Chains A and B, each alone.
Chain A
Amino acid sequence: ETGVTQTPRHLVMGMTNKKSLKCEQHLGHNAMYWYKQSAKKPLELMFVYNFKEQTENNSVPSRFSPECPNSSHLFLHLHTLQPEDSALYLCASSQEKLAGFPDTQYFGPGTRLTVL
């Protein structure tokens, strides 16, 4: 595998289910991101992890719970979601440059989530 991979590619779940999205990066990066992409809206940054530490949480509801066990893996745990949470969830990674300025973000193919 190369680049950034995400599983599953498609997920349908009920409002009472618990599921997890997985992201893995094979680029040796140290920062990872979760984004939500809804139709006709700009990408919304959800979470940022840098060296496994969460550095950003953009007021995301607690029904979304991220986990970053190491610099290569990122999970998004989902529980009691709402239909409006249906969207494409994108994972990205980047390498922090000198002086703390982030480098280009590389994206996975996304997980298309449908909440019934």
Chain B
Amino acid sequence: AQTVTQSQPEMSVQEAETVTLSCTYDTSESDYYLFWYKQPPSRQMILVIRQEAYKQQNATENRFSVNFQKAAKSFSLKISDSQLGDAAMYFCAYTRDSNYQLIWGAGTKLIIKP
């Protein structure tokens, strides 16, 4: 069965520093998409970044970047220059094909210390 594991229930980082959130997944597929979503206390789930498995280049969105290791089935999220507004639950998710089903991790709560 496909699974997504986020091994860090909670992480904290000092404002302006860098933090990395880990995610591993299990699949036998070769073509799939990976996502990081952010859910702040307001509850709105917001896409942070996405990665196509066939692309070797790691995706980047401003201060957010991923380290995608396909062979290791690892998809970590790096947040640089952490800001107070980055405080949220971060969810890693994976979708494998056209059945529209996203497989979700349990989430990592990120705390930003001022």
Residues of A within 8 A of B (CB): 31, 33, 40-43, 45, 48, 50, 55-56, 58, 88, 90, 92, 94, 96, 99-102, 104-110, 112
Contact = CB atoms under 8 A, between A and B. Distances in A.
Overall SS of chain A's interface: strand
A106 B35 CA distance: 12
A12 B29 CA distance: 42
Contacts, number: 58
B104 A42 contact: yes
Nearest to A50: B100
Contacts of B4: 42
Q: Which 7 A-B pairs have the closest CB atoms?
A: A107-B45, A100-B98, A42-B104, A43-B104, A102-B100, A48-B100, A109-B44
Interface of B: 4, 33, 35, 37, 42-47, 50, 91, 93, 95, 97-107
